[in-house]
Amino acid sequence: MGPLGYLLTWTTYGSWLHGDPRGSVDRDHRCPGAPVLAPDPQRQERERHLLKHPPITLDEARRQIVRETVAAHCEIRNWGLTALNVRSNHVHAIVYAPTATPKQVMEQLKAWTTRRLREAGLLGSDQQVWTEGGSKRALYTEQALSNAIRYVFEEQGPDLP
């Protein structure tokens, strides 16, 4: 039996650098259950200097396009969109896609949202919107799905306009 959905999370470019006080994950610290990187202000500053352009923030207009695009693409692909919360610096989506891997789902959603943001003139052609990769968790039980839905809708802070 396959998963009931995937909890997908990805961040905007430059908004959560290695060394961040919230913790972060790099290539050496990405196994499930592994501890996140400890805060490291010096590493965070080095990472900031490597950015090709300023960090991306999703204002109300950008968030709306991301929401609409994710919903439309899930409908086109016949993927079930169980939950979606687009924040100023990250996106959480729970998607049921039995014929696609979580990596494929995330890559398509990131690519299509980038395309639509550029078409709307809300992003320059040379600006990267999303960080590489993201979190992809398979949800195999009703309890895991319920917990993920609660996390997406209730544990992200106050609603954004």
Give me the residue spans of the domains in the chain: 5-15+56-154
Of the pLDDT bands very low, low, confident and very high (cuts 50, 70, 90), residue 15 is confident
Beta bridge partners of 138: 6
Calculate mean pLDDT across residues 121-137: 92
Residue 99 has pLDDT above 90, yes or no: yes
Write a three-state SS string for 24-49: ECCCCCCCCCCCCECCCHHHHHHHHH
Mean pLDDT for the stretch of residues 16-41: 67
Query: What tokens were used for 43?
Result: 């590493």
Which class for 93: exposed (0-12), middle (13-18), buried (19 or more C-beta within 10 A)?
buried
Q: Of all helices (H) and strands (E), which one includes residue 17?
A: none
**pLDDT in the model for residue 28:** 62
Record the tokens describing residue 114, joined without a space: 């980038």
Specify the 3-state DSSP secondary structure of 76: helix
So what's the pLDDT on residue 35?
A: 67
Instruction: Determine the pLDDT at residue 158.
Output: 80
Q: If you average pLDDT over every residue of the chain, what do you get? A: 89
* Fold assignment, 5-15+56-154: Alpha-Beta Plaits (3.30.70)
Q: What is the pLDDT of residue 129?
A: 95
Q: Is the pLDDT of residue 16 over 80?
A: no
Q: Is the pLDDT of residue 135 over 70?
A: yes
Higher pLDDT, 106 or 155: 106
pTM for this entry: 0.86
Would you state the structure tokens that stand for residue 153, as one six-digit string?
A: 């809708």
Give me 109's structure tokens: 């959603």
49-53: long-range contacts (C-beta < 8 A, 24 or more apart)? 51/13, 51/14, 52/128, 53/13, 53/14, 53/124, 53/126, 53/127, 53/128
CA separation for the pair 42, 24 (Å, rounded): 14
pLDDT tens-digit series, residues 31-62: 556 667 777 777 777 777 777 888 899 999 99
